[in-house]
Every structure is written in C-alpha cells, then in structure tokens.
Amino acid sequence: MVIASAGAANSQHPPGGPLFTCKDISLDLGGREILKEISLQVASGEVLGVIGPNGAGKTSLFEVLCGRFPAKSGTVTFKGQDVSALPLYQRARIGIGRTYQTPVVPDELTVEEVFKAARQAYKPYLNRWHVLWAMRLVRFSVDPDLPAAQLDTLDRRKLLLSCLIMRRPPLLLMDEPAAGLINSEVDEFDDLIRILAKELNVAIVIVEHRIELLDTIADRVMVMDAGEKISEGDLAMVLQDPRVRAAYFEDVH
C-alpha cells in the first residue's frame, strides 16, 4: 500500500524502445579530449555496468548524462525525448537520478533535516510516508536527530539514496556505490540494486570496479578506456576481449 502510493509511477516511453540513450557523446575539458563518441542505451529494469581503468572517463560520462558538463557533441534521450539541452536540475526533475563516488552529506543538518530538505525540493512536496518507504527499502535505520556528518560511509550512502529514490526516478546513474564499503555491506547494496531494477523496474547504469558485484547484478557491461568505449556485452565475454585485457594490463604496469 505504501509502496503503491509512494511517488509518481514511472511514465511510459515508446514501447520496445530503451528508456535512456546517449549517442556519440564527446567531451573536452581543459583543452583535453576526455570522451570520444560514447554511445549507450539502457531499458527499464535493466542494469548496465560500466567499467574501465582509473581516468577512463566514467565519471565524466555521468557528468554529461546528468547535465552537469555540456558535451562537445552528441545527444542524450530520455523516454524518447532529446534532453541534451536540459540543465542538471531539469534532468533531475524529470527522473534522471544520480549518485556520486563520494557520499557528501550536509554537515550542518541532522538526518531528519536532510530528509525534510529533500522532500521540499520536490514539487509537489513529498510527505513523510515517502521517506519511510525509501528508508525501509534501503534498510536505513538511524536516530533522526543524528547529525548527518556523524554517519559512516554506508549510512551516508543510504541516506542519499533514500532521498533520491523517494522521488521514484525511472533511471539511476550510480557512480561506484560500493566504494568505501566492506564486503558484507557490498552484499547489502547488491540486494538493493537488484530490488530497484527487478522489482521497481528502474533502469540502472552503474560504474563499479568490483567485478564480483557486477557479476551478480549487471545484465550487460560496457568497458571504457582513455575516453572510448572499447567493449560491450556479457561480463564474461568482455573480460576475455583483448582490448579490455590490454587496457587493464597497461593500467597496472
């Protein structure tokens, strides 16, 4: 009951089409070519993993997809509409959710105040049922009067994710959600991502270094190196790809 009433239902997009795509995205930063003609697509309920050595451009790609960095060229579409010209806040409003490598929480606010700010940032305002629904889903249970700055990494990630999913975004771009977590905590996130995708039908693009996590949750994986997409497909298949092996081999030596 609470689940059914929590937030707007995912809107429809053209039947059979992917929920979210980008095509030929290129990006320059500081006079350097950071991304070269990257394309991807993800459907509702699908988990697309993104891997690649440090500095490959994974986070930069997310910055373009969520509207924080303007691309030099290329297009981004969501629910069949070209959203390439929309700024960050408008893409967030239409349901492109984004989590960050480092879980930064407002130091000066308590957990309850963070939730209140997140509820009131959504129009129309979300109510406390939405918060309770999201907290239960991510198994986030702390004293609401606790300053957010006192939370450990797992609870910071849960707080930020709760604030995001109570809006019921149809798409989540997750940048290394398991960074800084110990193995048992990673298992919890693994379950959570599976629930979001397979039970709530959220499309998820996840950057992750932990292959064992992707092995259990990703339907498909794409590999980036030096700003390019060098391979895509089933995880076991891409790990055998000579270009992927070369990229990782060169990265560690």
Ligand X SMILES: Nc1ncnc2c1ncn2[C@@H]1O[C@H](COP(=O)(O)OP(=O)(O)OP(=O)(O)O)[C@@H](O)[C@H]1O
- The reply to whether 59 sits near ligand X by the rule CB under 6 A is yes
C-alpha dihedral (48, 195, 92, 110), degrees to nearest 10 = -130
Measured from the CB of residue 58, what is the shortest distance to Mg ion in angstroms?
Answer: 5
User: Which residue shows structure tokens 């000579």?
Assistant: 242
Cα angle at 215 between 180 and 161, to 5 degrees?
Answer: 45
- The reply to whether 51 sits near ligand X by the rule CB under 6 A is no
- The reply to whether 210 sits near ligand X by the rule CB under 6 A is no
Rounded-to-integer distance, Cα 202 and Cα 46, Å: 7
Q: Which residue stretch of 49-57, 88-96, 131-139, 239-247 sits at the interface with ligand X (rule: CB under 6 A)?
A: 49-57
When the beta carbons of 20 and 62 are compared against Mg ion, the nearer one is: 62
When the beta carbons of 56 and 171 are compared against ligand X, the nearer one is: 56
Q: Which residue stretch of 53-61, 141-149, 193-201, 233-241 sits at the interface with Mg ion (rule: CB under 5 A)?
A: 53-61
Count of chain residues binding ligand X (CB under 6 A) = 11
- The reply to whether 231 sits near ligand X by the rule CB under 6 A is no
Rounded-to-integer distance, Cα 205 and Cα 220, Å: 10
- The reply to whether 58 sits near ligand X by the rule CB under 6 A is yes
- The reply to whether 209 sits near Mg ion by the rule CB under 5 A is no
* Extended strands (E) in 32-182: 32-42, 47-51, 73-78, 81-82, 96-99, 171-175
When the beta carbons of 58 and 130 are compared against Mg ion, the nearer one is: 58
Closest CA to 35 of 86, 70, 80: 70
Which of 41, 59, 150, 153 is the binder for Mg ion (CB under 5 A)? 59
- The reply to whether 201 sits near Mg ion by the rule CB under 5 A is no
Binding site for Mg ion (CB under 5 A): 58-59
Binding site for ligand X (CB under 6 A): 29-30, 34, 52, 54-60
